[in-house]
Amino acid sequence: MAYNLKEVMANKPSRFTAGHRMCAGCGAPPVARMIMRALHEGDHAVVSNATGCMEVSTCIYPYTAWTDSYIHTAFECAAATCSGVEAAYKSFVKQGKLIEKDGEKTKFISFGGDGGTYDIGIQALSGAMERGHDMTYVCYDNGAYMNTGIQRSSATPKFADTTTSPAGKVIPGKMQSRKDLTQIMVSHHLPYVAQTIALANFKDLYEKAEKAIYTEGATFLNVLAPCPRGWGYPTEDLMKINKLAVDTCYWPLYEVIDGVYHITFKPAKKLPIEEFLRPQKRFKHMFKPGNEWMIEEFQKEVDKRWQELLDLEAITNK
Partner 1 sequence: MSIRERLSGNEASAIAMRQINPDVVAAFPITPSTEIPQYFSTFVSNGQVDTEFVAVESEHSAMSACIGAEAAGARAMTATSANGLSFMWEMLYIASGSRLPIVLSLVNRAVSGPLNIHNDHSDAMGVRDAGWIMLFSENNQEAYDNLIMAHQIAENKDVMLPLMVCQDGFITSHSIENIELIEDDKVKDFVGKYQPEHYLLNHAEPVAMGPMDLQAYLFEHKYQQAEAMRNAKKVILDVADRFEKMTGRKYSFFEEYKLDDAEIAIVCMNSTAGTSKAVVDELRSNGIKAGLLKIRVYRPFPVEEVAKALSHLKAVAVLDKDDSVNAAGAPLFTDITSAMYACSNVHIPIVNYIYGIGGRDTTTKEISRVYEDLQEIAKTGKVENPFRYFGLRKGGK
Chain residues that interact with partner 1, rule: CB under 8 A: 44, 46, 48, 55-56, 59-62, 64, 66-74, 76-77, 80-92, 94-95, 97-98, 100, 106, 123-124, 126-128, 130-131
Nearest to 223 by CA among 302, 143, 306, 138: 138
**Pairing, β 106-113 against β 44-49:** parallel
**Smallest distance from the beta carbon of 38 to partner 1, in angstroms?**
18
Q: Is the dihedral of CA 190, 197, 199, 134 positive or negative?
A: positive
- CB closer to partner 1 out of 81 and 156: 81
**Smallest distance from the beta carbon of 35 to partner 1, in angstroms?**
17
- CA separation for the pair 156, 174 (Å, rounded): 8
- CB closer to partner 1 out of 90 and 240: 90
**Region class of 231: left (phi > 0), else alpha (psi between -120 and 50), else beta:** alpha
- CA separation for the pair 298, 220 (Å, rounded): 27
**Smallest distance from the beta carbon of 216 to partner 1, in angstroms?**
16
- CB closer to partner 1 out of 50 and 273: 50
DSSP annotation of 317: T
**Smallest distance from the beta carbon of 233 to partner 1, in angstroms?**
27
- CB closer to partner 1 out of 20 and 282: 20
- CB closer to partner 1 out of 120 and 249: 120
Helices 28-37 and 203-214 meet at what angle, rounded to 10?
A: 50
**Smallest distance from the beta carbon of 67 to partner 1, in angstroms?**
7
Q: Is the dihedral of CA 228, 231, 234, 236 positive or negative?
A: negative
